[in-house]
Chain A
């Protein structure tokens, strides 16, 4: 591994989300959900979403795992809550690009707190951790999974499309 300062990985904001996660728990009402796990390390993220038309009205996650996977899930839910589905997918794409681009370009401002995870891109074995919540998000939104370049299989329990109510 190249010598990369750990401060780029373990920023205060990441530990803060890890210790005080936003939107953690179960939604009483949800229309879609997805559960993904990385069998290699045991990290798990479950996402529940209340979709109204094309809008994410409510979102919650539950899970267990390392600080990166859980902070990423917390930050992601905070960001996509009350956005359009298409915007959430766009943000997932922007975040995924940031993970796969280890250059020091300023991260896209629309990523909010997730920008703190930019340093993860310099730790290839941990990129999978940061992307786990986004795999769950894409899966819940019926967008399929993007298996990142690091490899590893994602097992998911995919709910069958959206249900209207």
Chain B
């Protein structure tokens, strides 16, 4: 079955035009196998996990924990107990900032972020910094939106406790050299958290090869359901960190004044989890494995290269981010003369083309380039060169409407 045909949402018309979906950095569409996994859980196995001594609960628990093993393997984790289910990347980062951060950070400690970060890898650290007296520092980027690692030796000090950086920038598509950052961070004894929201959908990730201590990801950007995702962390860290939320599932014993905690990862999973979401995320991982990351990466690179070439031919388009395709993922952030990104987006929408316009939850990136917003087209495995052609036609229409008076 053709890849694209497996995504029901892509087969629709918008405003009388076949949908061209180029907002994949915001969220991906879902293949039939993922939708089927959601339906199968609710139709056949719906029960709470880890507690019912009955057939449905056994089935639900087996599928839920099976998905954990699958995702752990998918990211190269040595042990599935090191994978905590979360609502997504944002909750995963908040978990680390709250639990590890509140427990560990003190006055004058430093957290090193980058100015490329999504707000979800900035604000949780601001919250914990304001409560602990810790200080935020930033790795700056150059004119192509690449982190300037030359500054790292100065930025990393004996007070640096955490380095939190994105694997791939959602705003520009910059692929960050994680291994290099990890190597330098380790020299000062800092931990490294990687925001993998934009990486895991598009390339093979191996947390052991990266050498990081925490890896956060979202299911909905990788063909999985919204509200699914996870945090991988080293066993020793998870074992030493206090619980993030209290409730059912996460305890061993509750007494009047105190409780003891369940083993990891359950210690961090208070309340009934997103069972259907986790199981369907497992189906998404199967789907991506079947397509293969080599094929996905090659396809997206071809689309990126073709699109950048056509945009360049068109002229009048200012594309942000690295020019070297090795340093860039399938994200094109751009502006066009005095056509504001929201106007671009409305004009494209009227032609059935979905892109994103705005600051992309990365206002520090916008400030760096002295702009308030960009238009962003982002690709995934089901996009085609036809989609790029439709985008270019749409942008020609923007040019026509916003032609110099």
Contact = CB atoms under 8 A, between A and B. Distances in A.
Interface of A: 1-4, 6, 9-10, 15-16, 18-19, 40-43, 64-68, 123, 125-126, 129
A129 B16 contact: no
A42 B350 contact: no
Contacts of A123: 346
9 contacts: A2-B15, A6-B401, A10-B401, A15-B401, A16-B405, A41-B358, A42-B358, A42-B372, A66-B341
A3 B16 contact: yes
B86 to A, nearest CB: 25
B15 A1 contact: yes
Q: Sort chain B's interface into a size bin.
A: 20 to 34
B372 A65 contact: yes
B357 A3 contact: no
A10 B358 contact: no
Given A2-B15, A15-B402, A19-B405, A126 B372 contact: no
B297 interface: no
Interface of B: 14-16, 338-343, 346-347, 349-350, 357-359, 366, 372-373, 397, 401-402, 405
B372 A64 contact: yes
Given A19-B405, A41-B373, A67-B340, A6 B357 contact: no
Given A3-B16, A15-B405, A19-B405, 5 more contacts: A1-B15, A1-B349, A10-B401, A18-B338, A41-B357
B1 to A, nearest CB: 30
A19 B15 contact: no
A6 B350 contact: yes
3 tightest A-B CB contacts, nearest first: A66-B342, A66-B340, A42-B372
A6 B397 CA distance: 10
Contact of B342 (A1, A19, A65): A65
Contacts of A2: 15
Contacts of A66: 340-343
Contacts of A9: 346
Instruction: Give the most central of A2, A10, A68: most B CB within 10 Å.
Output: A10
Contacts, number: 55
Contacts of B366: 42
B141 to A, nearest CB: 20
Nearest to B339: A67
B72 to A, nearest CB: 37
Given A1-B350, A6-B401, A64-B372, A40 B342 contact: no
Contacts of A41: 342, 357-358, 373
Nearest to A12: B405
A40 B360 CA distance: 10
A65 B16 CA distance: 29
A4 B350 contact: yes
A41 B345 CA distance: 12
A8 B79 CA distance: 59
A19 B16 contact: no
Instruction: Give the most central of B14, B346, B373: most A CB within 10 Å.
Output: B346
B344 to A, nearest CB: 9
Contacts of B350: 1, 3-4, 6
A10 B397 CA distance: 12
A67 B404 CA distance: 14
Instruction: Give the most central of A1, A42, A67, A68: most B CB within 10 Å.
Output: A42
Contacts of B341: 66
Contact of A3 (B15, B338, B342, B347): B15
Contacts of A40: 358
Contacts of B346: 6, 9, 123, 125-126
A67 B14 contact: no
Nearest to B401: A10
Contacts of A129: 342
A155 B32 CA distance: 42
Given A67-B340, A126-B346, A42 B16 contact: no
Nearest to B363: A42
Instruction: Give the most central of B349, B358, B372: most A CB within 10 Å.
Output: B372
A67 B343 contact: yes
A6 B15 CA distance: 12
Contacts of B357: 41
Given A40-B358, A65-B372, A6 B342 contact: no
A42 B359 contact: yes
B12 to A, nearest CB: 12
Contacts of B347: 6, 10
Contacts of A43: 342
A10 B343 contact: yes
Nearest to B347: A6
Instruction: Give the most central of A6, A9, A40: most B CB within 10 Å.
Output: A6
A67 B359 CA distance: 17
B14 A1 contact: yes
A18 B15 CA distance: 27
A40 B358 CA distance: 8
